Amino acid sequence: MSPAQDRPAPGAAFSADVEDYFQAEALRAHCPREAWASAEDRTEASTDRLLEILASRAIRGTFFILGWTASRHPGLVRRIAAAGHEVASHGSDHELIYRQSPDAFRDDVRRARRLLQDLSGQEVIGYRAPSYTIVARTRWALPILAEEGYRYDSSIFPIARRRYGIPGAPRMPHRIALAGGGTIAEFPLPTVRFGPVNVPLTGGAYLRLLPWRYQLWAVRRRIGAGSPFVLNVHPWELDPDQPRFPVGWRTRWTHYHNLDRAEARLKALLGEGTFGTLAEVLGRLGLLTDPAGTGPIDVGR
């Protein structure tokens, strides 16, 4: 790939949460953590598929990799880094933050960061929480992230949902003042504002679930306005042949609906604009600071 300086400045960020199909929170009752090691492992095939799609478009994005996955697939982490993508952290064990104590959370994000740095050779500065669970009652997690060496978070979804969301949170990338001093950059998940309500724009399950014409309209509008957003996918969403669990109607909808359409939709959206890593876009916006928090830094990857 060409050096960073030869590429156009990315208007939007691309990210993937690297985990397997059985690790989604909605499937916990059917595949609890103790069963993960014996589930059919499809991580490498689906993530390699995503890497191919990005390579064919010369797109570099941010891969928020689960520590549990990285420890079982060290070669995959190295391939992601070698392809020029940003390696970031999805924590170690995919436990929702409000089910962890602050000490357990610190240990989880510390272990993930160390492992990912060792495997990738990159400094890991980005974090995304399992199921976007930085919510009003888990804001205590943000200063811990900063103390552990993370320089940005991308976990806050400014919507109201059963498991996640801070409906009144800023919708655009910004810096958050931390209790106890300092700040951390935040790249929120993307929304569209309709009157008093924020509605998801695309990405994750919403890439499959929201009406396609709406997503295309919203993405084009956002790109046309030069307004940065992050497009997020899970590699397992590009794997329509994954084993299916006998789930109830709600999970059948959120986890399995339109799995056979996700890849075509992703490719279409990637053709709508220029995409880069979250660190690149935050850097371009002047929102990333050096570890001491003294000012913007250059991010060349």
Residues near Zn ion (CB under 5 A) are 17, 19, 130
Three-state DSSP string of 203-215 = CCHHHHHCCHHHH
Q: Which amino acid is at 129?
A: A
Tokens of 103: 């000490």
**Least distance to Zn ion, CB of residue 163, Å:** 12
3-state secondary structure of 81: helix
Closer CB to Zn ion, 163 or 261, in the complex: 163
Q: Do residues 279 and 288 lie in contact, with contact meaning Cβ atoms separated by under 8 Å?
A: yes
Task: Quote the CA–CA distance of 252 and 255 in Å, as a whole number.
Answer: 6
Task: Quote the CA–CA distance of 42 and 49 in Å, as a whole number.
Answer: 11
**Least distance to Zn ion, CB of residue 282, Å:** 21
Closer CB to Zn ion, 7 or 30, in the complex: 30
Closer CB to Zn ion, 17 or 86, in the complex: 17
Closest residue to Zn ion in the complex (CB): 17
Closer CB to Zn ion, 22 or 152, in the complex: 22
Burial of 256 (0-12, 13-18, 19+ CB in 10 A): middle
Closer CB to Zn ion, 19 or 186, in the complex: 19
**Least distance to Zn ion, CB of residue 128, Å:** 8
Angle at 270 between CA 113 and CA 90, to 5 degrees: 15
Closer CB to Zn ion, 64 or 229, in the complex: 64
Pairing of strands 230-233, 197-200: unpaired
Report helix angle 74-82 to 102-120, nearest 10. 60
**Least distance to Zn ion, CB of residue 88, Å:** 12
**Least distance to Zn ion, CB of residue 30, Å:** 16
**Least distance to Zn ion, CB of residue 19, Å:** 5
